[in-house]
Amino acid sequence: MTAVVRSNAWTLREILIVAVLGAVFGVLYLAWVQVWLIAQAVFGPVTMDVVMGFWFIVSIIAAKIIRKPGAALLSEVLAAAVQILLGSPAGLLLLVTGFVQGAGAEAVFAATRWRNYRLPVLLAAGVGAAVFSFVYTWFRFDYGALAPGLLIAMFTLRCLSGALLGGLAGHWITEALYRTGVLSGLAIDRDRRAGIA
């Protein structure tokens, strides 16, 4: 295994990649709102927690590709900004939401000192985003008024969704992108060539 020298300085290519990811997933996130609304009409209030993990996915993908402090956080904030520009009714509050979700994923990568991007860490990052977002929505929507059993179900479903729709799906998408060769020369590629996952 070859040692990999890491720099926290961002290149123009890395900035552009995170910007493109933020733009693409901002559009997808806005479309996902429609999925949530339709599912909620059928399955009820816990539906948001079941589908919530998809709204964390760009933080996982950006972090796994770029492997630098701030990638997870920045990508989520950019995705939120794109949704605002596209006319999301949530307005500027989406920036807070994006920040909270990105910070939850970023905290997990920070705990590894931005050195571990294996699947268990990606799953944990999805859960981290879920936990941060749950605390945020607790205060925003007054979850304290809800029955304890419902709260436990919501929290459990959101963490599972974060792990699967955020972490696992983010892993699959990044691996698919890597196989195309478009990530050549980036941190993910350098680590692979050095024998680091």
In a structure prediction context, what are the per-residue pLDDT tens digits for the chain, which is 197 residues long?
444 557 889 999 999 999 999 999 999 999 999 999 998 888 888 899 999 999 999 999 999 999 999 999 999 999 999 999 999 988 999 999 999 999 999 999 999 999 999 999 999 999 999 999 999 999 999 998 999 999 999 999 999 999 999 999 999 999 999 999 999 999 999 999 998 87
Q: How far apart are CA 83 and CA 26, in angstroms?
A: 5
- Give the pLDDT score at 5: 59
**CATH code of the region 12-189:** 1.10.1760
- Give the pLDDT score at 84: 96
Residue with tokens 């007054």: 142
- Give the pLDDT score at 148: 94
Domain ranges of the chain: 12-189
Residue with tokens 């989520």: 76
Classify burial at 178, counting beta carbons within 10 Å of its beta carbon; exposed 0-12, middle 13-18, buried 19 or more. middle
